[in-house]
Amino acid sequence: MEWFSRSNGELFAEQVSVANIAEQFGTPTYIYSRAGFEAGYKAYEEALSGHPHLICYAVKANSNLAVLNVLAKLGAGFDLVSVGELERVLAAGGDPAKVVFSGVGKQRHEIRRALEVGIHCFNVESEVELERIQEEAAAMNKVASISMRVNPDVDAQTHPYISTGLKDNKFGIDISRAPEVYQRAAELPNIDIVGVDCHIGSQLTTKEPFIDALDRLLILVDQLAERGIKLKHLDIGGGLGISYDGEVPPTPTEYLSEVRGHLMAQEKYQHLAIVVEPGRSIAGNAGLLATEVELIKKSDHKNFVVVDAAMNDLLRPSIYSAYHGIEPVQQDDSKESLFCDVVGPICETGDFLGKDRDIKVAEGDLLAVMSSGAYGFGMSSNYNSRNRIAEVMVDGDKVHQVRRRETIQEQFATESLLPEE
Ligand SMILES: *Cc1c(COP(=O)(O)O)cnc(C)c1O
């Protein structure tokens, strides 16, 4: 996480002290680095330059308007899974013509809105959905561009909950049935077939599963060509991993140069534009979660560092047993190292941010939960009636609050009591 570095043991976000940010905005707070998001995006641009491409940032990884705006300014496209995400992209200045719309349960009103603003394409995940899009497009007298999300049945070798490309998964259309479904799509008057799509999972740390999936997609491209169906793009999804705990995933260039190699090797594939849908690999290492130690609870067999952030703020450790590095904001070697679990105050055993860590820590210290820029705030909730926390973005030597901390009144705002008897 090069946007977060130390000077005299003190942690900085770009040029700003994390302790100063915590003092100004309180804790817990998500701290993002603009340069981090930009570098994440540019790594894909570089990897794909010279080949027709579209980089669609997966909005669900971090959907703060300021994050979307920073990426929109670089010319990013967006991968979305709901109309709420579409409205965010529009509000942040994103170009609807660079939007792809994924998701297994697109509702009719969502399809209509996407047709109205003119998205690049729908990634269709079932035959039922295909018919639904046809009906809505016909009613609006429009033509819907579509790409079929196929399930290539490859094992992404990642956590089962973030593996999405296996046969028994809810996502996509079984690749063996895809030619028939494309045939049906080709017969529909308000459907224009533009591509094929897959997304096999998240936090992949080797390129082999991606390349396996690609090769299966290319076989499908051939089968479709035999039926006279010519595709314009190949969407290979997102899923590239980041380093949370010393993993060394391929860089976008390492991964995509191999993809380009497979396409360029045969003339029949050379016209295919490459679409990617990276989320985590753009946002993950561009953020951290700053939290304060409330108290330390020691016992004979276990020590707990209780912090003011909890599973409702950062859910990944609880649901995926995910690892996030946890570091003191100010390193102090005079403190004794404590073997501990770092936990939140929520009434759940699953409420932890880290287990079995060695941290030099005392009450009142600030800790940084690293690599929290993706699937952090976006998965947060009000569980235990906790206010949703603030988000700030550092840009060089400046700090901008991009979401202020929620208030208790705001939590109640949409609720009401039963009428008086
Ligand atoms: C979540 C998701 C992505 C992004 O995945 P990352 O692992 O964050 O890169 C891309 N495409 C689809 C369809 C997704 O659901």
Which atom of ligand 1 approaches the CA of 204 most closely? 7
Query: Distance of CA 375 to CAs 92, 202, 265, Å?
Result: 19, 11, 37
Residue type for 48, please? L
Question: Quick one: tokens of 90?
Answer: 């529009």
Query: Could you tell me the distance, in angstroms and rounded to a whole number, from the CA of residue 420 to the centre of ligand 1?
Result: 47
Strand order in the sheet with 16-17: 4-7, 10-13, 16-17
Residue whose Cα lies nearest atom 10 of ligand 1: it is: 238
In whole angstroms, what is the distance from residue 102 CA to residue 323 CA?
A: 28
From 56, 59, 60, give the residue whose CB has the most ligand 1 atoms within 8 Å, as the site to mutate. Answer: 60
What CATH number matches the domain at 4-32+284-412, 2.40.50.140, 2.40.50.100, 2.60.120.680, 2.40.37.10? 2.40.37.10
Per CATH, the architecture of 103-276 is what? Alpha-Beta Barrel (3.20)
Are 238 and 280 a contacting pair, CB within 8 Å?
yes
Which atom of ligand 1 approaches the CA of 375 most closely? 8
Q: What is the pLDDT of residue 421?
A: 87
Binding-site residues, ligand 1, Cβ < 6 A: 58, 60-61, 79, 81, 102, 199, 202, 237-239, 277-281, 374
Q: What is the pLDDT of residue 153?
A: 87
Phi, psi for residue 340 in degrees, rounded to 5? -155, 170
Residues contacting 10, CB < 8 A, separation 6+: 17, 18, 19, 329, 330, 331
Which atom of ligand 1 approaches the CA of 123 most closely? 13
Query: Could you tell me the distance, in angstroms and rounded to a whole number, from the CA of residue 347 to the centre of ligand 1?
Result: 31
- Tens of each residue's pLDDT in the chain, 421 residues: 679 999 999 999 999 999 999 999 999 999 999 999 999 999 999 999 999 999 999 999 999 999 999 999 999 999 999 999 999 999 999 999 999 999 999 999 999 999 999 999 999 999 999 999 999 999 999 999 999 999 998 877 666 655 666 666 778 899 999 999 999 999 999 999 999 999 999 999 999 999 999 999 999 999 999 999 999 999 999 999 999 999 999 999 999 999 999 999 999 999 999 999 999 999 999 999 999 999 999 988 899 999 999 999 999 999 999 999 999 999 999 998 999 999 999 999 899 999 999 999 999 999 999 999 999 999 999 999 999 999 999 999 999 999 999 999 999 999 999 999 8
> Can you give the pTM of this predicted structure?
0.96
Can you tell me whether residue 222 is helix, strand or coil?
A: helix
From 56, 59, 67, 79, give the residue whose CB has the most ligand 1 atoms within 8 Å, as the site to mutate. Answer: 79
Q: What is the pLDDT of residue 162?
A: 58
pLDDT single digits (tens) 136-179: 999 999 999 999 999 998 877 666 655 666 666 778 899 999 99
From 125, 199, 234, 240, give the residue whose CB has the most ligand 1 atoms within 8 Å, as the site to mutate. Answer: 199
The full set of domain ranges for the chain reads 4-32+284-412, 103-276
Instruction: Show which residues are catalytic.
Output: 347
In whole angstroms, what is the distance from residue 158 CA to residue 244 CA?
A: 14
pLDDT single digits (tens) 267-306: 999 999 999 999 999 999 999 999 999 999 998 889 999 9
Are 86 and 66 a contacting pair, CB within 8 Å?
no
Residue type for 188, please? L
Residue type for 185, please? A
Query: Could you tell me the distance, in angstroms and rounded to a whole number, from the CA of residue 363 to the centre of ligand 1?
Result: 38
Query: How many CB atoms lie under 10 A from the CB of residue 127?
Result: 15
Q: What is the pLDDT of residue 170?
A: 76
Query: Could you tell me the distance, in angstroms and rounded to a whole number, from the CA of residue 335 to the centre of ligand 1?
Result: 41
Query: Could you tell me the distance, in angstroms and rounded to a whole number, from the CA of residue 123 to the centre of ligand 1?
Result: 12
